[in-house]
Structure 1
Amino acid sequence: MATTSLPTTIKAVLQPDPKSNHLILTTTPLPKLSDPQDYLIQVKAVCPCLDELTWEVKFPQLFTSSRERVPCTECAGVVVDGPADGPFKPGDEVFYRNDAWHTGTLREYSVVGTPYLALKPKTLSWTDAAATPLSALTAWQGLFEHGTLDKAAVHGDAAARKKNAKIRVLITGASGAVGGWAVQLATAAGAGAIVGVGSPSKASDMRQLGATELVDYTTQSVDKWAAENPAAREVDLILDCVGGPSMGNCWGAIKNGGTFLSVVGQPGASKPEGETKTLAKGEWFLVQPRGSDLAEIAQLVDAGKCKPLVDSVLPFEKFAEAFAKVESRKTNGKVVISVSN
């Protein structure tokens, strides 16, 4: 199915030792397709993820020693080869998030399975598309799969919008990469109220994304904010994107019988002593790479209802600087590495 001559070797970034965050730029053979559902992608742009260079040490059971240790799980690029009877064809512009234990995408060509792929939103640049998969999937699955919002509402289902209009949602880190997507998706789904927790410097950003109420965590904790008027301020659904003391404070805002989700840790482990509320669901969930979800997200992006948050874009050769920026935890959105034009 390949339509162009391909190189035999490519530039790739490797992590030689999983116990060290040191990365090197080297040359490796062009990856081969070993599964009938695999596609070969010419990589345009990728995104590093916070702490990803430590994952193999933290979760050794997920990784095999035989794989090439190439970082970055999310990518935007062009299909160059794959199954003749598959849903994608050479020249298709795609984006995806791969499983963490697969060889990553910080190289000129990468391999991905059919279930992970979706057509890139037509309205997004390569760098914006690369900044989308992980954050958008996390927010999407948190709100609609693990949470209580009905995703049919984002496609105009009137009954779903009526249902969602009764749900109050609170999102911590609401101006960040995942939290920003969650605010936008909750807005698109017609949530009755969207409480954004963030710093005052991001207040206008959170409002613009769709937050209807704001909590300035620098001057007031969530529990104290909720305690001022519990009947009006308690929420049905919490999506915590921060963890730490902030997650414990959120117990003061959840309704008895509510749903409390986190992408950082178990909500139950942060329950304050003496707190008597019970939850319908309290869960730490991990995002699942899923092309079908990305296809729905792409529709919303192209409809102008959502967009990624991008902090900065760096060229391929500045990959180490890109990882350092991510690990600084001081970025305003995603850091993108441009691999090719």
Structure 2
Amino acid sequence: MKAIGFKESLPITEENSFIAFETEIPTPSGHDLLVKISAISVNPVDFKIRQNAAKDTVLDEPKIIGWDAVGVVEAVGEQVSRFQVGDEVYYAGDLTRSGSNAEYQLVDERIVGRKPTSLTLAEAAALPLTALTAWESLFDRIKVNPATDKGKTVLILAGAGGVGSIAIQIAKKVAGLTVIATASRPETIAWCEALGADFVVNHRNLKADLETIGHGQVDYILDFVDLEGYWDLAAELIKPQGHIVSITGSGTPLNLDVLKTKSVTFSWEFMYTRSMYSTPDMDRQHQILNEVADLLDAGTLKTTLTTVLEGFTVANLKKAHQMQESGTTIGKTVVLY
């Protein structure tokens, strides 16, 4: 099968930052599905791992990355019970295994969902990683209860990004929250509003803008861009007994004392925790992806796809990474095989 990977962590403009090569089609066992991939999308995790996985070294074999895919089940392991050959599926994969930048991939059925029937291949490929991240942030970390928390405020940092774009929809349409998203360019403001944000505020003037709309403090904060840069301000903006969730990490230790007097809860969200550690509730991601598929097919949620690159080629993968590295993309970019 054809795959695209890298042996060195090089700038994306370098010729060998990605290389195409041939490798064996893997054989499924246990809970694994062998999926023939139809489309993939690119997320920040892709370029971050490409930049760091082979620093100051040359790998013996090319590393295959990629953590969003849609495709068709070609074969199944002996313990598979949720899918059968011919099923269309979508998933975000497992950080510890070979990725989706290939023609075929093995993936555990417990982190796979059925492809939404109403979406095209490209539209579906845009969603798994970001939808799982947003859903887990709201319902597994904060534990929002739509029945009792309806109308509470959530501030979404980087509303027009991949995760922010689906988080706005889930927070508004599923959780019933009052959604405040950050954006600064006319096109990103319009995007957030179209997705259902109740308010869009400028991250460069965040405190003043929140006060202007009558929400000087918020119940929840979802950080999808820069925890370290927003930490002190987030501690100021969060309500007493509020909850902050971040996916971005920090280069320095966080001062948790700033949350103490408000009894604020802070949580990390790492979508790969369940697959990386084979947690007892690993099947939760299968359930989430199926529920998201139902919501997409019902028209409650919509795809966040904005760009399609046609053809599984080194050039297209490089272009997708360059777009992600720019930090200015809106929604999601998909490579269609």
TM over 0.5: yes
Cα distance in 2 for residues equivalent to 1:275 and 1:118: 37
Q: Residues 194-205 of structure 1: matches in 2 within 5 Å?
A: 194-201=179-186, 202-205=188-191
Cα distance in 1 for residues equivalent to 2:219 and 2:299: 27
Q: Residues 109-188 of structure 1: matches in 2 within 5 Å?
A: 109-150=104-145, 153=146, 160=147, 163-188=148-173
**Segment drifting more, 317-326 vs 23-32:** 317-326
Which residue in 2 is equivalent to 1:25? 20
Which residue in 2 is equivalent to 1:280? 264
Which residue in 2 is equivalent to 1:6? none
Equivalent position SS for 1:233: coil
Which residue in 2 is equivalent to 1:291? 286
Cα distance in 2 for residues equivalent to 1:268 and 1:261: 17
Equivalent position SS for 1:335: strand
Aligned-pair CA distance for 1:271: 6.0
Aligned-pair CA distance for 1:82: 0.5
Which residue in 2 is equivalent to 1:214? 200
Match of 1:331 among 329, 332, 336: 329
Cα distance in 1 for residues equivalent to 2:119 and 2:129: 16
**Segment drifting more, 278-287 vs 86-95:** 278-287
Gaps of 5+ in 2: 276-284
**Residue 169 of structure 1 contacts residue 191 of structure 1 at CA under 8 Å; is this kept in 2?**
no
**Segment drifting more, 80-89 vs 120-129:** 80-89
Aligned-pair CA distance for 1:51: 4.5
**Segment drifting more, 267-276 vs 81-90:** 267-276
Label 1:229 to 1:300 Cα distance change in 2 as closer, same or farther (>3 A).
closer
Normalising to structure 2: TM-score of the pair? 0.83
Which residue in 2 is equivalent to 1:260? 244
Q: Residues 20-99 of structure 1: matches in 2 within 5 Å?
A: 22-33=17-28, 35-55=29-49, 69-83=63-77, 86-99=81-94
Aligned-pair CA distance for 1:247: 4.4
Aligned-pair CA distance for 1:83: 3.5
1:14-41, CA deviations, whole angstroms, 9 ceiling, x for partnerless residues? 21235776110111111222x3111111
Structure 2 letter corresponding to 1:41: V
1:149-191, CA deviations, whole angstroms, 9 ceiling, x for partnerless residues? 12xx4xxxxxx2xx12242111111122101111100111343
Label 1:223 to 1:69 Cα distance change in 2 as closer, same or farther (>3 A).
same
Say what the alpha-carbon RMSD is for the aligned residues.
Answer: 2.8
**Residue 47 of structure 2 contacts residue 321 of structure 2 at CA under 8 Å; is this kept in 1?**
no
Label 1:58 to 1:121 Cα distance change in 2 as closer, same or farther (>3 A).
same
Gaps of 5+ in 1: 1-9, 154-159
